[in-house]
């Protein structure tokens, strides 16, 4: 399945009544499966979750753990990069060279790798000796 289509298809189901900023995310795993997620907001604002986090949760629930490609689309005139927390979440399950395509609502795309989005990432090597 085309990740762009998967992200667009799911974006319309985003639950974003407070920001009105709908985000759709789709990722492909090393097993070839595609998982989707949307942002889910909450009246207690900090309780909301991002689209990328939703897609990762769906992937884990679906039994896969390694991401090989990511696509994110948002209600924005410019491509919206993942927030800091989502960069860290993606880095947990994706190698640094995995491509993250960010798309605007008009379809303008920006591609960056996970390592470009999160240089010097905190990782398992930092836990050595603990």
41 three-state secondary structure: coil
Distance CA 91, CA 42 (A): 26
Q: Where are the alpha helices (DSSP H) in the chain?
A: 3-11, 51-61, 84-93, 114-117
**Site membership for ligand THU, residue 21 (CB under 6 A):** yes
Kindly tell me which of 10 and 86 has the beta carbon lying closer to ligand THU.
Answer: 86
For ligand THU, the binding residue among 26, 27, 34, 51 (CB under 6 A) is: 51
64 counts as binding ligand THU under rule CB under 6 A: no
In angstroms, the CA 87 to CA 89 distance is 5
Query: Which entry of 41, 52, 69, 92 is annotated as an active-site residue?
Result: 52
- In the residue annotation, 52 being an active-site residue is answered as yes
- Residues of this chain that interact with ligand THU (CB under 6 A) are 16, 19, 21, 23, 39, 41, 48, 50-52, 82-83, 86
């Amino acid at each position: 399945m085309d990740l762009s289509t998967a992200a667009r298809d799911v974006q319309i189901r985003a639950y974003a009544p407070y920001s009105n900023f709908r985000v759709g995310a789709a990722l492909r795993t090393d097993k070839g499966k595609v998982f989707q997620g949307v942002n889910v907001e909450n009246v207690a604002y900090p309780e909301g979750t991002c689209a990328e986090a939703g897609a990762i949760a769906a992937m884990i629930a679906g039994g896969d753990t390694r991401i090989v490609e990511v696509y994110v689309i948002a209600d924005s005139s410019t491509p919206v990069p993942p927030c800091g927390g989502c960069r860290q979440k993606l880095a947990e399950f994706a190698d640094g060279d995995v491509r993250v395509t960010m798309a605007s609502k008009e379809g303008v795309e920006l591609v960056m790798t996970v390592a470009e989005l999160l240089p010097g990432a905190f990782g398992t090597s930092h836990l050595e000796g603990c």
